[in-house]
């Protein structure tokens, strides 16, 4: 029986690979996607999400537009991720009928979860603004969310500051709400995604699949490698880059692809140097119970093999 999931995305290049993986995997049933402000503005993250589904021939996957700014902070300066994501993805405009659904993403999340059988995994791979707002607006959805699989966070090193990973940093108040919501949470942080890199040779293999998803993934991986090599090269791995969001989706298909520790995790919201840091209490010094399954490693060969198998499929 495929696992049902909803993806909350700030579509950018790795979100796009995650969307295609979720839509094409026979082990998953993608109920819908909600867009959020993050890698670029909500207009672009929404348009990009529609273009992805249209390109792979699945224009009927429901897409809903979400929040256009963080819960409680000013909008982040634009252009931070341009080299790795850009604004518009390198995909053609919609031509197969992919259409934005009416209504706000937060309201659709609430309606969908309240009406569900409690069997839809929630997979946010952008800032957690939509998720936090849905929880605050209608706390009853929590009992209907079986698991939240978040791409975000960092213990060893950040990517947008020394301490913080982008998704958490952009809206730390939202992240704190979600991390403390009481539901089962698996966090796929940089500690794992930076150990599951995709290389330019892998991009060649994706292109050689000859499928729409393979071609798009090759384009996005090569753009990411260019951006990472230019702005934040992976130590000892030039010519390779993380595809963070796709690892979160693959961990739903095969949880063994990541190594996790069940620990107390919270989010710093009020510190000059470390705002947005996921504070990981591996030694339980704070006396709090564990609340997050925090990934500390990942199986790169299996991850790449999963991408090649799934993105070799067509709708």
Annotated catalytic residues are 244
| By the rule CB under 5 A, 20 interacts with Ca ion | no
DSSP letter string over the chain?
A: -PEEEEEEE--SHHHHHHHHHHHH-TTEEEEEEEE-SSSS-HHHHHHHHHHHHHHTT-TTS-EEE--SS-SSSPPPPTTTTTTTT-SS-SSPPP-S---EEEEEHHHHHHHHHHHS-S-EEEEE-S-SHHHHHHHHH-GGGGGG---EEEE---SS--SSSSS--HHHHH-HHHHHHHHTSSS-EEEE-HHHHTTSEEEHHHHHHHHHT-SHHHHHHHHHHHHHHHHHHHHSPPTT-TTEEE-HHHHHHHHHH-GGGEEEEEE-EEE--S-TTTTT-EEE-TT-TT-PPP-EEEEEEE-HHHHHHHHHHHTT---
Which residue, 32 or 153, is less far from ligand RIB as judged by CB?
153
Residue 145: Cβ within 10 Å count: 24
Give the one residue of 34, 159, 251, 291 binding ligand RIB; rule: CB under 6 A.
159
Minimum Å gap between C-beta 244 and ligand RIB is: 4
Least distance to ligand RIB, CB of residue 126, Å: 5
CB-nearer residue toward ligand RIB: 151 or 175 = 151
- Taking contact as CB under 5 A, which single stretch among the options 10-18, 69-77, 253-261, 296-304 is the one that binds Ca ion? 10-18
Closest approach of Cβ 159 to ligand RIB, in Å? 5
Partner from ligand RIB, Ca ion, none binding residue 166, C-beta < 5-8 Å depending on class: ligand RIB
Binding mask 210-239 for ligand RIB (x = CB under 6 A): ------------------------------
User: Pick from 66, 126, 227, 276: which binds ligand RIB (CB under 6 A)?
Assistant: 126
Instruction: For the segment 115-154, give every residue that binds Ca ion (CB under 5 A).
Output: 125-126
Residue whose pair of structure tokens reads 């090269």 in the numeric block: 233
Binding partner at 276 among Ca ion, ligand RIB, none, C-beta below 5 to 8 Å by kind? none
Phi, psi for 6 (deg, rounded to 5): -120, 130
CB of 15 to Ca ion, least distance (A): 4
The backbone torsions φ and ψ at residue 134, rounded to the nearest 5 degrees and listed phi first, read -65, -45
* Among the residue ranges 5-13, 190-198, 254-262, 279-287, the one whose residues contact Ca ion (CB under 5 A): 5-13
C-beta closer to Ca ion: residue 10 or 165:
10
Task: Enter the tokens of residue 234.
Answer: 């992976």
**Residues 38-77: x where in contact with ligand RIB by CB under 6 A, - otherwise, as a string:** xx--------------------------------------
Is 25 or 37 the residue whose CB approaches ligand RIB more closely?
Answer: 37
Task: Count residues binding ligand RIB (CB under 6 A).
Answer: 15
Q: How far is CA 151 from the centre of its chain?
A: 5
Q: Which is nearer to ligand RIB, 39 or 112 (CB)?
A: 39
- Binding residues vs Ca ion (CB under 5 A): 10, 15, 125-126, 245
- Binding residues vs ligand RIB (CB under 6 A): 10, 12, 14-15, 38-39, 125-126, 151, 159, 165-167, 244-245
């Amino acid at each position: 029986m495929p696992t049902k999931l909803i993806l909350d995305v700030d579509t950018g290049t790795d979100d796009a690979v995650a969307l295609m993986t979720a839509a094409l995997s026979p082990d998953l049933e993608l109920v819908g996607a909600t867009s959020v402000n993050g890698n670029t503005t909500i207009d672009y993250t929404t348009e990009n999400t529609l273009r992805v589904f249209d390109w792979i021939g699945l224009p009927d996957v429901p897409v809903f537009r979400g929040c256009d700014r963080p819960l409680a902070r000013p909008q982040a300066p634009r252009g931070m991720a341009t080299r790795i994501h850009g604004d518009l993805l390198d995909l053609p405009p919609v031509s197969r009928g992919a259409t934005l659904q009416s209504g706000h993403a937060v309201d659709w999340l609430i309606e969908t979860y309240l009406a569900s059988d409690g069997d839809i995994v929630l997979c946010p791979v952008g800032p957690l603004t939509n998720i936090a707002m849905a929880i605050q607006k209608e706390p009853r959805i929590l009992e209907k969310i079986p698991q939240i699989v978040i791409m975000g966070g960092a213990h060893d090193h950040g990517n947008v500051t020394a301490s913080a990973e982008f998704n958490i940093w952009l809206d730390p108040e939202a992240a704190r709400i979600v991390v403390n919501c009481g539901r089962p949470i698996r966090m796929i942080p940089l500690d794992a995604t930076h150990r599951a890199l995709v290389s330019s040779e892998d991009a060649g293999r994706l292109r050689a699949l000859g499928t729409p998803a393979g071609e798009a993934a090759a384009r996005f991986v090569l753009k990411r490698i260019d951006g990472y090599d230019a702005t934040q090269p992976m130590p000892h791995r030039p010519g390779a880059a993380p595809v963070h969001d796709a690892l979160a989706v693959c961990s739903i298909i095969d949880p063994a692809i990541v190594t996790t520790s069940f620990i107390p995790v919270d989010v710093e919201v009020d510190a000059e140097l470390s705002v947005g840091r996921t504070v990981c209490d591996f030694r339980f010094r704070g006396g709090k119970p564990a609340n997050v399954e925090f990934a500390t490693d990942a199986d790169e060969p299996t991850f790449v093999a999963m991408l090649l198998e799934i993105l070799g499929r067509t709708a």
